[in-house]
Amino acid sequence: MRTLCASTLIGEFFVIGFAGLVAMKDPDLATSTVWTVSGIAMFLCVALCGVVTRPGGIAFGWALQAALVASGFVVPTMFFLGAVFAALWWASVHYGRKIDEAKARFAAAQSGSTGSSTADAV
């Protein structure tokens, strides 16, 4: 799960950076404000890559997805891109958990068959 979620977050990192460039064209927004908000969001994407498997990591990721969708009020294209990344986040969490469960079952089956064959040989 960690790999899929981290891949989604790194993609968001770049999208947020590009959205910051688009937001700079708005004369009502100060450049420092745009880059402060974008920089914090980009940092959170990278930081979340390291804590996604810890308690609360997935929930924090969902909060980041909601903020990304809400950024559409500043850059309207982000409504669409935020929804796309929210769907990717869901898929990363959902299928990542399935992959982790399959790996655990495989590892248990391998350790079970290895343990019995060793006992039979002795």
Residue stretches of the chain with pLDDT short of 70? 114-122
**Residue-wise pLDDT tens digits, 4-23:** 999 999 999 999 999 999 99
The contacts of residue 97 (CB under 8 Å, 6+ apart) are 1
Q: Residue 116 has what pLDDT?
A: 53
Q: Residue 121 has what pLDDT?
A: 52
- The answer to whether the CB of 13 falls within 8 A of the CB of 42 is yes
Q: Which pTM was predicted? A: 0.82
Count Cβ atoms below 10 Å from residue 31 Cβ, excluding itself. 10
Q: Residue 79 has what pLDDT?
A: 94
